[in-house]
């Protein structure tokens, strides 16, 4: 989750009155009193959460630094995870038409394969962000979605733990994404994204499938630009067919021939550096997961490494 920075709201005693007003709203929308009492026990405004929001690595780091901190430590583990869970992944790929390397890569980049899922009480974190003011409407809605999860009779996680921003489980779903896209593949009555299992892989794949992933298309590729290329054309809002880019002098970085001549894509140059990519609609699907180009490119590049090992 990435957004622009702004000055944090001054903390004031109004947080408690805001919280009481929100609890009334949640109750009116069907959240049980016992759930509210449990969820908001000892809740207080958390300045550290606001500080973390203002210093997200997707915003602060360059693409090269972001990529190099994440890919090298994960490549070997990602390949091993792909092999270890091949049976479950095969079923998910057949059901959702999303490739296994992308599923494993998202798992790896999001939470380091479940190692970094977050230690914060997400109800308290979301309450802080909803009160803070920068994206109050968004976080207020997510807070209500988190309460819906806690209110489920079969929910074994009585206190939700997650990231400072309220993201949950190995795939770091926001509560609304959990409620909308998490799936119960093993039919045990609960969509479990807190463990490495078929529910996790199915939930990741279901999200991408629902957001428009196209099985037969690539996410993109690394390219080289001609010396006279107008870099103002490097913009996600501008799409041309692969053939059109080729006719303008764009070439694959590895020197091989282009595939998909009619497929429309965009040129992007992260941070105006030396890395250049031609990206298609599947890349935009990853951007729906996280709007950071650094994040999306890292996911896709790690997926390439996993796929090359098969």
Question: What residues does each domain of the chain span?
Answer: 220-308
Give the pLDDT score at 31: 96
Give the pLDDT score at 107: 98
Give the pLDDT score at 30: 96
Give the pLDDT score at 234: 98
50 within 8 A of 132, measured Cβ to Cβ: yes
Give the pLDDT score at 55: 79
Stretches where the chain sits below pLDDT 50 are 1-11
Give the pLDDT score at 52: 87
Which pLDDT tens digit goes with each residue over 49-61? 988 888 777 777 8
Give the pLDDT score at 56: 78
- DSSP of 249-286, one letter per residue? T-EETTS---S-TT-EEEEE-GGGSS--EEE-HHHHHH
Specify the pTM. 0.92
Query: What residues pair up with 162 in beta bridges, in sequence order?
Result: 120, 168
The Cα 140–Cα 136 span in angstroms is: 6
């Amino acid at each position: 989750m990435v957004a622009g920075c702004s000055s944090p709201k001054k903390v004031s005693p109004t947080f408690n009155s805001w919280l009481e007003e929100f609890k009334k709203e949640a109750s009116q929308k069907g959240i049980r009193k016992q759930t509210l009492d449990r969820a908001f026990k000892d809740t207080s405004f958390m300045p550290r959460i606001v500080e973390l929001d203002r210093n997200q690595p997707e915003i602060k780091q360059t693409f090269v630094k972001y990529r190099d901190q994440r890919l090298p430590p994960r490549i070997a583990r990602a390949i091993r995870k792909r092999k270890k869970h091949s049976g479950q992944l095969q079923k998910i790929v057949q059901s959702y038409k999303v490739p296994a390397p992308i599923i494993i890569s998202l798992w790896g980049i999001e939470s380091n394969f479940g190692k970094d899922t977050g230690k914060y009480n997400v109800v308290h974190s979301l309450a802080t962000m909803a009160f803070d003011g920068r994206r109050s409407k968004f976080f207020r809605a997510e807070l209500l979605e988190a309460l819906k999860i806690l209110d489920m009779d079969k929910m074994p996680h009585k206190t939700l733990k997650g990231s400072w921003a309220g993201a949950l489980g190995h795939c770091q779903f926001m509560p609304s994404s959990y409620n909308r896209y998490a799936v119960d593949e093993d039919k045990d009555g609960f969509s479990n994204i807190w463990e490495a299992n078929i529910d996790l892989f199915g939930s990741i794949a279901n999200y991408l499938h629902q957001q428009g992933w196209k099985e037969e298309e690539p996410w993109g590729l690394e390219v080289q630009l001609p010396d006279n290329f107008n870099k103002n054309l490097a913009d996600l809002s501008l799409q041309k067919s692969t053939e059109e880019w080729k006719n303008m002098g764009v070439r694959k970085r590895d020197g091989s021939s282009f595939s998909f001549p009619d497929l429309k894509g965009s040129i992007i140059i992260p941070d105006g550096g030396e890395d250049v990519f031609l990206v298609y609609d599947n890349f935009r699907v990853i951007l729906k997961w996280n709007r950071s180009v650094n994040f999306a490119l890292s996911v896709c590049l790690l997926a390439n490494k996993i796929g090359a090992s098969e």
